[in-house]
Amino acid sequence: MASTVTSRPGYGQLLRTRGAWTFLLPGFAARQPFAMLTISIVLLVQHTTGSYGAAGAAAAVTGVSMALFAPYSGRLADRYGQRAVLTPGVLLHSLSGLALTALALAHAPLWALFAAAVPTGASVPQIGPMVRARWGVKLQGSPLMTTAAAFESVTDELTFVFGPLLATALCTAVTPAAGLVTEASLTLVGGLLFAAQKSTQPAVTVTGHARVEHASALRVPGVRVLVVAFLGIGSVFGGMQVSLAAFTESIGEPGLNGVLYGVFAAGNMLSGIVCGAVAWKVAPQRRLVLGYGALALAASGLWAAHSVLVLAGLGLLVGMCIAPALITGYTLVEGLVPAGARTEAFTWLTGAVALGQAAAVTVAGQLEDRFWGGAGFLVPMAGTVLALTTLVALRSRLVTRPRSLTVARGVGHRVPLTVD
């Protein structure tokens, strides 16, 4: 069945939404450092230890910590408000990042780096999910919601164009510690500016004097399937970061690392713009399966690339396949998850990307240390193929059904919460 496209409410209409710019601009500034974090850790720790395996492991601990704590951050934001979670979070993240930098420069043992990496990852501010939740409040089921999902994906990828370039430039041209120090500083300033925008944050659900404790978004079967899909996407990000760094160093051009990763992210961003500009007359769950199949196929060729031009071309193609999968996954959340649990749902998906990235940088780092140059590119292939297999087998769980079941837990009384 061919994909048919028609015009949809566009980006211009979306950006004219009243009050949108009050959270979009600080939100962009606050999420920029996230794209710098992993590559900054990899480049710093590799410089101080001489091992991509150690660098990947330190970055992986950060990613795992973020993946484990992100959903709780989202749940707390749904319950107590985004500002109450963000303010202490960005302070902790900045201090932890600076501590990790100091330990790496002091050639501290790997376990000490891991100890600092845990709070660094756990306190990563979940700006993207929080912005998406604010769009949900503003648009309230409008046809612009899919456009907003695409716009947020494009914004995420724009940060992944500039973030790695900036981090790599700072680490290679200034000092290996400059990337992580800048990341911590930008997180603090951007996070506090975003937290100050109180008027657009989702309202906290209150009944009487008790706050409602919603059922976890992870109880929705479709969310669990999406988590697996996003784990595979994370394996692409992590595998590319380590393997591109190893490849460019092996050819004596470490400065090309940020350029190649920027090409990959640019492909992601460009395809995201296209996805948000058209309305696909194909069910979103089918669109996700088809797009993910293309991603797995493109990622399977990375390991065979032996030149900068070929690798850049394949990276661009892989990037172009990621955005449709991300946009469709986030769009499906709107139909699968009740409004009161969407920030948590978005953080589960963000956390899944981080967890997949963490596993990928660990495995890819070991492969690059022990086998041939480019062996780390096997990780994106394996991750996407395994995720695609799961997605095909469980695609029926992504179908949005009428909301009829009520599940909730309250304090002192029960409040209905619809779930699929």
Give mean pLDDT, residues 341-351. Answer: 77
CB 96 within 8 A of CB 120: yes
Give mean pLDDT, residues 304-324. Answer: 83
How many CA atoms are closer than 13 Å to the CA of 94, on its beta-carbon side?
Answer: 17
- Reported as a pLDDT band with limits 50, 70 and 90, residue 386 is very high
Which of 129-138, 223-232, 241-250, 272-281 is predicted least confidently? 272-281
Which of 114-128, 249-263, 367-381 is predicted least confidently? 249-263
How many CA atoms are closer than 13 Å to the CA of 411, on its beta-carbon side?
Answer: 10
Give mean pLDDT, residues 176-186. Answer: 90
Q: Look at residue 302 and tell me whether its pLDDT is greater than 50.
A: yes
- Reported as a pLDDT band with limits 50, 70 and 90, residue 212 is very low
What is the residue-wise DSSP string for 374-393? TGGGHHHHHHHHHHHHHHHH
Exposed, middle or buried: residue 219 (CB in 10 Å: 0-12, 13-18, 19+)? middle
Q: What is the pLDDT of residues 96-109, one digit of tens each?
A: 999 999 999 999 99
User: Smallest Cα–Cα separation from 312: which of 360, 232, 258?
Assistant: 258
Q: What is the pLDDT of residues 145-156, one digit of tens each?
A: 777 777 877 777
Give mean pLDDT, residues 83-89. Answer: 86
Which of 17-26, 155-164, 229-238 is predicted least confidently? 155-164
- Reported as a pLDDT band with limits 50, 70 and 90, residue 131 is confident
